[in-house]
Structure 1
Amino acid sequence: MRVTIMLACFFFLAGCKKDPVLTDAMLGGETIFDPSVYDPGKYLVSLAKPNPTPSEASTPVIITVHGYSASTFEWDEFRSFASGRSNVLISQVLMGGHGVSYADFKNASWQDWKQPVLEEYMRLEKAGYTNISLAGSSTGSAVILNMLADGFFIEHTKPRQIFLIDPIVIPADKSLSLIGIAGPIIGYTEADNTAEEDKHWYHYRPYETLKELKELTGLVRHDLQKGFRLPAGTQLKVYKSKKDTTADPVSAVLIYKGLKSADAQPVEVEMIDSELHVFTRLDLRPNLMPKDRDNQKNAFEDILSRLN
C-alpha cells in the first residue's frame, strides 16, 4: 500500500506544470525588470564616472551584491543611508540572470550570477579606481567568498574592505540537499513574498537555480573547510543574524574557522540579535521592531566608518 501511495504521489507531481503562470505584477513577468537594466549608469560607478578625476579615483567605491532570486533593491537602503553622510561611491551590481525574465533566471548558472561582479570590479580597476571594497548579502556573500578562494584578486587590485551580511554557506532549509532528486519532479518552488516584494524578488524559483545555489554553497563550504586567506591589506567582517531561516548561523562559524587574514589572523564576526535574513533590508517587511532599525543603522554606520 505504501509503495502504491508513493508511486501515485510521484506521478501526480510529475504531471504538474513545470513552469509557473507569471503575472505582469511580478519580477520575471513581461513588464517588471530591475531598474538597473534600463539605466545601468545610475547603479554602476564604472558607467557613471568612467573617467574619474584623481580625487574621484581615490574615493572609496563599494560594490554591493544582492542575494539569490533578489535584485539591486536589496541594497537601496544602504545607498539612501550613505547619501550625504559619507564620501563613498556605490555600485549596485545586478547578478547575472537576475532582475529580468523567468527564463533568463532559470537558465543562468552560478558562474553567470558572478560575472557582472567581476566585470564591474575590472572596469573600476581599468578606469583607475584604487580604493575598492565589496559587500554581499546572502548569496552575494557566497559569490564574494568564491572570488577570494578562486584567486581572482591575485592579479587584480586588492579590495580594501569586504562586508558579508547574513552569508549563506550552510542553508537553514536542509531540503535543498534533495533538490537534485525532487527538482525535476516539482519544477519550481514558490517564495512567501508579499505582492510588493514580488516586484523585487522572483516569486517562483526554478529548481535549476536551486541546484546552482546548492553547487555554489557546496564549493564555498569545501574551500572554507580546506582554509584560505584574504589578500594582503584586505579586511573582512561578517554580520550574521542569530536566528535565520535561510542561512544557518553556523555559516558564520565556518567562515571564522576557514578564512584568515593574510597574516593568519581570524576575521571579525558580529552576531546580530535579529531573526531576519538580510537584516539590513527592512523596506517592505511587515511587523518590524525598534531593534531591527537599530541593527540596520548600526551596521550601515559601521560599514561606512571602515570605508573612510
Structure 2
Amino acid sequence: MNFYDRIPANTKVSPISKELYLENESKTAVLIIHGYTGSPHDMYYIGRQIHKSGFAIYIPRLPGHGTNSIDFLNSNWKDWLRKSLDSYLNLKSLYEKVYILGLSMGGVLATLVASKFNPEKIVLAAPALKANDWRIKITPFVKYFTKKSKKKNPITFEDEKVNYLAREYWNYDWPSKAADLYKLQRLAVKKLPEINSKTYVVLSKKDDAVPLSVKELIEENIKSQKKFMILEESGHVVVNDNEKEKVAQQVIKWLKEE
C-alpha cells in the first residue's frame, strides 16, 4: 500500500490551517514557513503585519500539516523541503526579491533554501537547528518500533479549531516524524557555511524546544551579516506569543533596512 492509498478520503485542511497569500505592488515578497506539527495559523499574525508594512507574503502549508495525523504520518522531510523550495521558486517568478522567514523547523527549511538560492535576507525564528529534547537523536532507530505515542499530559484549548490540531498532532510524540526533522537538522547544519544571506535571528530564554546555544552555532557557521534578538518571556512560537508585537516590529524594521 502506497502513501496515496493510506490517506483518508475525508482528509481536509483545518479552517485555521489554510495557506495565506497576500499580494502587494511591492517588488519584494516574504516567504513565511511554519514549524513541525504547526500550521499556517502560527504565522498569520506576523505575516499580516509584514504585509501591512508593504511586502507581499506567502504562508504555505507543509504537506501532512493542518489536516490529520494519518496524513502527517504519510509525509516526510523530502515533502517538506520540496514544498519550501517550490514556494520560493514560485514567488521568485513573480517578485524581484524574495526574503524568507521560518519558525522552528521552518527556520531549518529556510536555511536549506537559502544555502541553495542565496536570497538577500532570511529571518530565523527559534530555528530548530538544535533541540532541547535529547531523544531526537535516537529517533532514526526508534521509528522502526513506534510511529506515535500519546503524551502523558494532553493539552486542551477553548477554541475547538485549535483543540482539533492538539488532538491530531500536539498530544502525541512522533518518533518516525521526529526522525525526519532530525534529518533536516543535520543537513541544515552542514549547509550553514554556504549561506550568504543577511540573517536575523529571534530566540527566547524561555523556549523549551530550542536552546539558546543555537546562537553560537549560527555565529560560528554563517559568515554573512547577522543580527540577534533575544526575548525574555516568549515560549517556542516566538512569532505568535506574548512578545509577538515586538518581534513583528523589529523584524519589519530589519527587513526594510538597506
TM-score bracket for the superposition, by shorter chain length: 0.7 to 0.9
User: 1:57 Cα deviation (Å)?
Assistant: 5.3
| Offset from partner CA, 1:21-45 (integer Å, 9 cap, x none) | xxxxxxx9957624487x65xx135
Aligned length: 241
For 2:208 and 2:96, how far apart are their aligned partners in 1?
A: 37
Provide the residue aligned with 1:287 in structure 2: none
Distance 1:83 1:119, change over 3 A: closer
Whichever residue aligns with residue 271 of structure 1, its letter is I
Distance 1:57 1:304, change over 3 A: closer
Provide the residue aligned with 1:117 in structure 2: 84
Distance 1:169 1:61, change over 3 A: same
Provide the residue aligned with 1:235 in structure 2: 198
Which of residues 228, 232, 243 is equivalent to 1:269? 228
Is this contact kept in 2: 1:61–1:88, CA < 8 A?
yes
Distance 1:212 1:31, change over 3 A: closer
Task: With the length of structure 1 as denominator, give the TM-score of the two structures.
Answer: 0.70
Whichever residue aligns with residue 184 of structure 1, its letter is Y
Distance 1:181 1:124, change over 3 A: closer
Which of residues 41, 46, 49 is equivalent to 1:73? 41
User: 1:102 Cα deviation (Å)?
Assistant: 2.1
Is this contact kept in 1: 2:111–2:195, CA < 8 A?
no
Which of residues 156, 159, 178 is equivalent to 1:194? 156
Provide the residue aligned with 2:121 in structure 1: 161
Is this contact kept in 2: 1:243–1:249, CA < 8 A?
no
For 2:136 and 2:251, how far apart are their aligned partners in 1?
A: 31
Provide the residue aligned with 1:96 in structure 2: 63
Unaligned 5+ runs, structure 1: 1-27, 283-291
Provide the residue aligned with 2:3 in structure 1: none
Q: Could you tell me the percent identity over the aligned residues? A: 21
Whichever residue aligns with residue 64 of structure 1, its letter is I
Whether 1:147 aligns to 2:124 is no
Whether 1:215 aligns to 2:183 is yes
For 1:228 and 1:274, how far apart are their aligned partners in 2?
A: 32
Whether 1:63 aligns to 2:31 is yes
User: 1:254 Cα deviation (Å)?
Assistant: 0.4
Which of residues 29, 33, 36 is equivalent to 2:13? 33
Which of residues 14, 21, 32 is equivalent to 1:44? 21
Whichever residue aligns with residue 179 of structure 1, its letter is T
For 2:189 and 2:54, how far apart are their aligned partners in 1?
A: 35
Moved more, 180-189 or 210-219: 180-189
Provide the residue aligned with 1:174 in structure 2: 134
For 2:36 and 2:245, how far apart are their aligned partners in 1?
A: 24
Whichever residue aligns with residue 274 of structure 1, its letter is E
Distance 1:102 1:147, change over 3 A: same
Task: Specify the structure having the higher radius of gyration (Cα).
Answer: 1
User: 1:212 Cα deviation (Å)?
Assistant: 0.2
Whichever residue aligns with residue 194 of structure 1, its letter is T
Unaligned 5+ runs, structure 2: 1-7
For 1:164 and 1:29, how far apart are their aligned partners in 2?
A: 36
Which of residues 250, 254, 258 is equivalent to 1:302? 250
For 1:137 and 1:276, how far apart are their aligned partners in 2?
A: 12
